[in-house]
Amino acid sequence: MRDIGKILPIDGYRVLLEKDLPADFAHALTHLYQPLIGIQAISLYMTLLHEIELQQDSAVQTHHTLMNYMDLPLDDLYRTRRKLEGIGLLKTFQEQANEYNIYTYELHPPFAPSQFFMDEMLAQLLYHHIGKVKFAMLKDHFAKPHRGNQGVNITASFGDVFQTVLPDEGTLEKPAAESRNLHERKPEQSTEPDFSWMERVLKQRMIPAEQVLTQANRQLIAQMMTLYDMPEYEVEKAVLWALTEENALNQNEFKEACHDLFQNNHQAAVRLTEKQPDTTEETITHNPTTKEEQLIAELERISPKQLLEDLSNGGQASSQDLKVIREVMTTQGLPSPVMNVLIHYVLLQSNMKLSKAYMETIASHWSRANLQTAREAMRFAKNEKAHYQQRKNKKKSSQKTASKEVVPEWFTERKKKQRDTNPAPKQQQGISDEEWHETEQLLKKFSGKKNSQS
């Protein structure tokens, strides 16, 4: 919902091809780019590519055409376009025309498979997405027209679209400020970080800086800083670790050192994921009034650790509970708001006990459903609960119909007394909408803060 209105169905577009495609571009898109940006982004690229030969010089297509081709709503189409921009396959130019915008989509050819593996950042990302065996197999197998007045270049950069650190206990790591478009390597467009600090470190250790900081090594260091979001002092550790006796940088050892440092700090997998929006402004704008809206807004904002502490009247969350949440969250790749709803749901179902096995079962289901926000997760949980209750009621109804046995009155009375004496545990009674709405009982600390502020 956050991207609605960024482009309109009436907005026009035209397509250009930056230069001829390599002969094996389809192999590169399918096997190398698709694991990183997904099938919808590849489909949009191919759709725009085949639009070029159909478009007329003076005619401008509308985005309604793309919506029909792709069978996608406009906000999904916008996010898919930005993936192509972030990975370097598309440049977008915008110009104003009367009451609508016209976009020029300039397609850039993908790397040829052999060139793809020469880009260390792309190669590392693919390695983390498809695994060591598949990566090794692929690597072994695959050993500008006149633009005119296109408007202002509004192409999203890599750092605007993607992040490489998955949520860890509710915290999203931001990519380094040096994030850049992967395909832009011209010196005048480079956003390469300042290496003067590294030169000073090497000189202090009597190591020839010019021998270590070659152009290729500078590019590699910049890419690893972006990929792993590494501060300068950790890059220094990795470089010194990877130096040979001849004071040359072993690139493979440097990459491994960066990955080891990342894992020690974050204990999470490197994945290419879309940046999560800042929900603070959105929450203030919508000004939630109902209890359910307040609960959703809070679950979007806080971390799972804060949620557990709020539910414990401000007490510290146990390390065992945090470990369970971290493992489920990183294994299934759930966003922090969705993880909060999962914790909320499991606690309601299990009488305020955090069951790892139960949580893992639900998390795998929600991961396949590709839930991204707390609102989506809460709606999904309610629907699943309603379907389960319907099936349960239907089963009971069929059992009553099928049973024709006459039950003695004394037996019925005895069963009734047993039910009155031993009521069913809470986790077997289901969850009503009222329990979702009672945020004061579930977020006591949060409610206390709100009351004190008012």
Backbone angles phi, psi at 453, to 5 degrees: -70, -35
Note down pLDDT in tens along the chain; length 454 residues.
566 667 888 888 999 988 888 888 898 999 999 999 999 999 999 999 988 888 766 678 888 888 888 888 888 899 999 999 999 999 999 988 777 889 999 999 999 888 888 888 888 888 888 888 898 898 888 864 445 556 777 888 777 787 766 555 444 444 443 444 444 443 333 445 678 888 888 888 888 888 888 888 888 888 777 767 778 888 888 888 888 888 889 888 888 888 787 777 665 566 666 666 554 444 434 455 577 788 888 888 877 777 877 776 656 667 677 778 777 776 777 787 888 888 888 888 877 788 888 888 888 888 888 888 888 888 888 887 777 777 777 766 666 555 555 566 666 676 676 666 655 444 444 455 556 555 545 565 454 554 555 5
7 within 8 A of 77, measured Cβ to Cβ: yes
- Residue written as token pair 């931001």: 174
- Residue written as token pair 């139960």: 358
Q: How many residues does the chain have?
A: 454
CA distance 277 to 306: 19
Query: 16: helix, coil or strand?
Result: strand
Rounding to the nearest 10 degrees, give the CA dihedral for residues 123, 128, 131, 136. Answer: 20
This model's pTM is above 0.85: no
328 within 8 A of 334, measured Cβ to Cβ: yes
